[in-house]
Structure formats: C-alpha cells, structure tokens
Structure 1
Amino acid sequence: MTSRLTDQQKQTWASFREFADEFIAPEARAADEQQVLSRDLIKKLGSAGWLSVLLPEEWGGRALDWVSYGLMAEEMGRTCQNVRNFVACADMVSHAIWKWGTQEQKDRWLKRISSGEAVAAFVLTEPKVGSDAKSVQTEARLDGSDIVLRGVKKWISFGEIADVFLVFAQYEGRHTAFLVERETPGLRVEALQGLLGLRGSSLGEISFDDCRIPASSMVGQPGSGLVFVASTALDIGRYSTAWGCVGLAQACLEEASAYARGREQYGTAIIGHQLVQRMLADMLTGATASRLMCLEAGLVKDAGGMDAVNRTLMAKYFASTTANRVAADAVQVLGAYGIGGDSSVARLFRDAKVMEIIEGTTQLHQAMLGTWSAHVPHPAGTSARPL
C-alpha cells in the first residue's frame, strides 16, 4: 500500500504512529475504566496539531489531505478508539463551523477547538431518532431576537464534558443547526455510563428546557441542517470510523499473533496449529483489505470524485464488520487471557461492536449500498450489464 502514498503522507503516518504509541496507547486502559479522556491528553492532541487538521492553517488546522487524515485515524483506532472518536467529533463540529458558520462563530470557536481548549459535541441523535436523522423532534422557535430550544438528545459523544454543542432541531418545520454553549440556562447534561464500548467517550443525554440562545447562534440557513451541515460532518465521522476500524483490526492482529507465537500447547506454539493459523490468516487478510478499501475512499475524496460518499460508506461497512470478526477471533486466540479484565483485546472487542452502530448501522449501510449497486459503473469505465 505504501507505494500509493506520497513521501509527505508516509511522514505524516510515521509521525502520528510515534505520537500514538507515546501518548495515546498508555491512556487507553484508563480512559476505558474511568470512562473519560484526560484533559491533559486532549491538550496534548491540540498542542501537537492533531485536532481540526482538515481546516486551513489560519484556523488552527493543517489542511491535511483525506488519505493522510485516514492514516491518522488508523493510528488512533489502533491505540484508543475513544481518542479517535474525540478527534472525529472535534473535526465534525469545527469543519461544520468553518464551512457553514458566520465569521463571528469561526472567530469564537475554531482555534479554541483546534487547540484543545474547548471540547465540542455533535448533537443529532435523540431517544427515538437515530438513523432517520431528518426526523429529529427537538424544536427551535423564534422569540424576539432569541431562539428557544426544547427537546432531548441522547447518546452524544463527549456530551458529558463538552463546552459547545452543535445542535440539530426543527425550526419552522425545517432541519436547522445551532451552536449552544454549555452554561446556557435551560441546558442540562446527564452522563451515560456503563456502556458496552467507547466507554471513554463521555456520552451524555442533553436536555433543552426552553433553552434560550441568540438568533446569531444558527449555523447556516434555516433548513440547511441535515442536507448541508450534518451530512458534511457525518461523512467525516464515517470516514474516520472506517479507518479507525482498520487500526482496531491491526491491533487485534498484532496482539493475537504475538500471543500465538509465545503460547505453547501440546508441545508447540499454538501458531503452529492450523485452526489458529486460519484465524490469523483471516485477520491479516481482513485488516489488509479494509485498509485498501479505506485508501481507495480517501483517494476518491482527494480527487473530488462524485461517488466519494458511497466509497466511504462501503469502506465503513466493510471495515466495521471486519473489525468485529477480527476482534472476536483475537479473543478466541488468547482464550482465557482474552476475556480477562485487564485484556486489551477484550476492550477492543467491546469497542468493535460499537463500530457497527455509530455513524450509520451495518444494516443502514447495506440498504444504501444495495441501492447504489445498481448505478455503479464497471471499473473499466463502461456500465456493467447483466450477463
């Protein structure tokens, strides 16, 4: 795969792998057990320049290309999915503000988010609204020069610790986005803990009880919330998740193969047993294929391809289902050690299942890709026809 990367992309990959091993990996277990990321780590991400990297430099970013962004997400996924999720959420919000926000909104938030000073949350999901994002029930109404929000959001990553929320609501019957600061009267946050995976992502339930914000808090225009603001952000999150699944699968492969080389049963290392070899072979092949599919999605995005969104959908679908299988096999290879409370593959196994749910469920992706399949041209450039 490296033959398809530029020298700059290789250097970016190497530099973040070094950062991830030194600063992220040692925090992964604590984030999972304590169910929160340390502010010190968040500040390190900011000071190292790994937040809002898609933005131009003038706003604290790096103007990173999509392939490099994916390689970064892989290394975060390899070491700690909670950190990858945090960076993705920060990028989703900051990119939305940069692309659709006012000058005042950009000046107030972008550099604070990119430095790690402010934590941002993407607030779309509701207790009764998940994949069907257009059906949000939270309401926003104009009252004088203010907007009044009323409703409940749930399963919001980093909602427990966020300083600013990008909130989606129905405004005059149209899906619209707003920025809401944490200390706004009428906003209440309840922590959601004890989840299966991504425990360090500080999920929260956010209630808006006649929460009053300035009308200038609107991001974009009335009715642009889903089609423009949310869709752009969700594509970033889906792309990050896809690459993060590659990293998760890679971590499981490394753990399982190392254990198999050192664990002896019946007088030989278990890596010599054919059924273990089969699991390791499937893990290696799945991780490699997922990486190549994500790379293809990144190359199409960098080229501005019309099917970039669907390529990302396909990469996320394949990589997340693969990560789930690979993580299950890694637990199997490690046996009793794989299910221990201090096992890293146990944490990866729990996180892997979440990957099939966030940023669009496996079943939603199947439905969307099934529809798209009828319109995919042949790789040689001609339309495929049934034989």
Structure 2
Amino acid sequence: MISQLTAEQRHRWREFRAFADGVIAPAADTIDARQEIPRPLIRELGEAGWLSAMLPERWGGRGLDAAHYGMMAEELGRTCSNVRNFVAVQDMVSHAVSMWGIPEQKLRWLPEIAAGRRIAAFLLTEPDTGSDAQDVRTEAKDDGSEIVVSGAKKWISFGQCADLFLVFVQYQGRHTAILVERDSPGVHVTPLTDMLGLRGSMLAEITFEECRVPADSVIGHPGSGLAFVAANSLDIGRYSTAWGCVGLAQACLDASSAYAAERRQYGKPLADHQLVQQMLADMLTQSRAARLLCWQAGQAADREDEDSHYEALTAKYFSSTVAARIAGQAVQIHGARGMGAGAAVGRFFRDAKAMEIIEGASQVIQQLLGRWSAVAGHPSALGPSG
C-alpha cells in the first residue's frame, strides 16, 4: 500500500513512524504497567505536532486532512493504544471548542491543548448511561451569572489528569455541552485503576456537587450537545480508533510473523506448519481489509460526503473486531510466551478488547449500520459505485 501513496503521504508516514518507533514504542510497556502517561511524553507529543493535528496552524495544529490523520493514528495504535487514545481525546475536545466555542474559549484553550500544556477530557458516559447518550442525567441550572452542574460521569479517559472537562448535561431541558475546569469548586475526581485494557488511559469517575461555572461556559448553544457537539467529536474518536485498530493488528502480525519464523517445533519453524500459515494469512488479509475501509472513511471525510459518518462507523466496527480477532491469534501463536508478564501481544490482546467497547460498542454500531443499510433507495447501501 505504501507504493500507492503520494510523495507527501510517504514523507508524512515516515515522519509518523520514526517518531512512534523512537519515542512512543519504548514507553508503551511502562505506560501499561504504571497505568499512566508521563507528562514529559505529553509535552513531546505537543512539540512534535501530534496533538490537535487537524486544527489550523493558528490554533497550534498542523492542518492535517483525514487521510494524513489516519496514517498518524495507525502508527500510534501500532506502538501504544493508550497514547493513541490520549491524542484522540484531545482532538475530540479541541475540535468541539474550535467548531462551537466562543472566541475567548478558543484563545484560552486551543493553543494550550495543542501544546500539551493542558489536558482535556470528554465527559459523556455516566454510571447508568453508556451507549444511550440521549439519556444523560447530569444536570445544569441557571443561577444568576453562573451555571450550577450536578451529577456524575464515569469511565472517563484521562479524567485523572485532565485540566479541562467537556461535560454533556441536561440544561434548560436540552442536551448541552459545557466546559468545566478541574479546579472548579464541587468537582471530585476518583481514579479507576486496574482496567482490563487501555490501562494507561487514566480513567476516572468525575462527580459534580453543585459545581458553579460562568454562564459563558456553554459550547455551542442549549440543545446542540448531542446532535452537533458530541456527534462530530465522536466521529473523530471513531475514526481514530478504527485506524488505531489497524495499527494494533499490524503490530500483532509483525510480532507473530517474526516469532513464527524463529520458533521451532517438531523440527521446523512454526511458520512452516500449515495451520500457522493459515492463521498468518488470515491476519494479513483481515488487517489489509480493515486498512482499506479506513482509507475509504478518510476519503469520505475529506470530500465531506453526507455519508462520511457511516463510513467512520463501518471502519470502526470492522477494524475493532478484526483487531480483537488478530490479537487473539497472536497470543495463540506465541503460546505461553504470549501470556507472560511483559509480553507485547498480551498487551495488544487486552487493548484490542477495549476497542470493541469504546467509541460505541460493536453491537450498538451494528444496529446503527443495519438501519442505515436498510434505508430504501439509499445509494451507499448499493456500494461505492451506487
């Protein structure tokens, strides 16, 4: 596939890969073991332009299109899913602020997030509200020149360390997005540790006890929280996750191919056993198919196709299921070594399972795609050629 890239895309890809291999990969196991991403690495991400990369340069971004952003996300996913998740969350929040924020919010937060000086978190999920985002129960009420927020959010990536929360609430009876700073009175952060996968994503439960924020903390306008702010941000998260899963699958394939070539059983390398060859062939085919779906989703986004939302959903659904399947095969090929402490494929296996849950569980996405494909006369239901 590299031969099909333009000269600029090949240059960008080499840049992304060199940084991922040189800076991110050496830290991946430590991030997983210590369950945190170190601040110096976050600052390096900012200095290298990996944060808010799709934003214009005036806000600290690099103006990447969806295709280049996908290449970056694949290299992040290939080396460390926690870092890929971190970058995605920052991009989701910065995108929301850039699209729907007032000038003062943009000036204050966008350059800080892009530089890695401030960390943001996306607060949608609640203890009793997951995929059904319309059922948000955190409330916000007017009180003079302030808004009072009460409720709780759970399973929030980087909630442990975030300086800024993009919180989705019911405000004036409508689904609304509000910015809340971590040091606001009434904000309580409870770390959630020892997760199965994405252990370095520093999850937390965030509780708001009559937390007071300025009235101009709303992003967009009352009622735009789900249909506009969340929906557009989630598309970025799903697109990033899809590409990250391709990278994770590629890492599993690379590790498994190398191990199968060196490990000998019954007098010959594992790679010469037909059943192992079949597994490697399936891993290769499925990872390439996932990558092509991601490319298609990126092209749809860059063309601003009306169905780009569903292209991202399709890529996320397929890539995450493929990553989980390939990671399981990678552990199987490695045998006991794949189950040992510090085994990279063991980390891939745990992280891959999380990919089938975050940014929309597979079953929820299946339901959405099923409805989409069943629309009578829908051109995309007939395939790319219509």
Aligned residue among 377, 382, 386 for 1:378: 382
Mapped partners of 1:30, 1:121: distance in 2: 22
Partner residue in 2 for 1:320: 320
Amino acid in structure 1 at the alignment position of 2:66: W
Of 2-11 and 100-109, more deviation after overlay is shown by 2-11
Aligned to 1:210, the other structure's residue is in SS state strand
Amino acid in structure 1 at the alignment position of 2:272: G
Aligned to 2:323, the other structure's residue is in SS state helix
Partner residue in 2 for 1:304: 304
Mapped partners of 1:182, 1:170: distance in 2: 20
Partner residue in 2 for 1:63: 63
Q: Please tell me whether residue 114 in structure 1 is matched to residue 114 in structure 2.
A: yes
Aligned to 1:326, the other structure's residue is in SS state helix
Shift, 1:263, TM fit: 0.2
Mapped partners of 1:138, 1:12: distance in 2: 42
Q: Please tell me whether residue 20 in structure 1 is matched to residue 20 in structure 2.
A: yes
Amino acid in structure 1 at the alignment position of 2:357: I
Partner residue in 1 for 2:213: 213
Provide closer, same or farther for how the CA distance between residues 145 and 45 of structure 1 changes in structure 2, counting only shifts above 3 A. same
Structure 1, gaps ≥5 residues long: 383-387
CA offsets 1:158-181 (integer angstroms, 9 cap, x no match): 000000000000001100011111
Mapped partners of 1:3, 1:170: distance in 2: 50
Partner residue in 1 for 2:230: 230
Mapped partners of 2:384, 2:224: distance in 1: 37
Partner residue in 1 for 2:75: 75
Shift, 1:303, TM fit: 1.0
Q: Please tell me whether residue 196 in structure 1 is matched to residue 196 in structure 2.
A: yes
Amino acid in structure 2 at the alignment position of 1:255: A
Structure 2, gaps ≥5 residues long: none
Aligned to 1:185, the other structure's residue is in SS state coil
CA offsets 1:341-373 (integer angstroms, 9 cap, x no match): 110000000000000000000001111111111
Shift, 1:144, TM fit: 0.5
Mapped partners of 2:155, 2:10: distance in 1: 35
Shift, 1:248, TM fit: 0.3
Mapped partners of 2:384, 2:55: distance in 1: 35
Mapped partners of 1:67, 1:187: distance in 2: 38
Matches within 5 A, 1:46-57: 46-57=46-57
Shift, 1:6, TM fit: 2.4
Partner residue in 1 for 2:259: 259
Aligned to 2:335, the other structure's residue is in SS state helix
Mapped partners of 1:146, 1:233: distance in 2: 26
Shift, 1:211, TM fit: 0.3
Provide closer, same or farther for how the CA distance between residues 46 and 377 of structure 1 changes in structure 2, counting only shifts above 3 A. same
Aligned to 1:127, the other structure's residue is in SS state coil
Aligned to 2:349, the other structure's residue is in SS state helix
Shift, 1:7, TM fit: 1.8
Provide closer, same or farther for how the CA distance between residues 114 and 147 of structure 1 changes in structure 2, counting only shifts above 3 A. same
Q: Kindly, what percent of the aligned residue pairs are identical? A: 60
Matches within 5 A, 1:279-290: 279-290=279-290
Shift, 1:380, TM fit: 6.8
Amino acid in structure 2 at the alignment position of 1:174: R
Using structure 1 for the length normalisation, give the TM-score: 0.97
Partner residue in 2 for 1:295: 295
Shift, 1:378, TM fit: 2.8
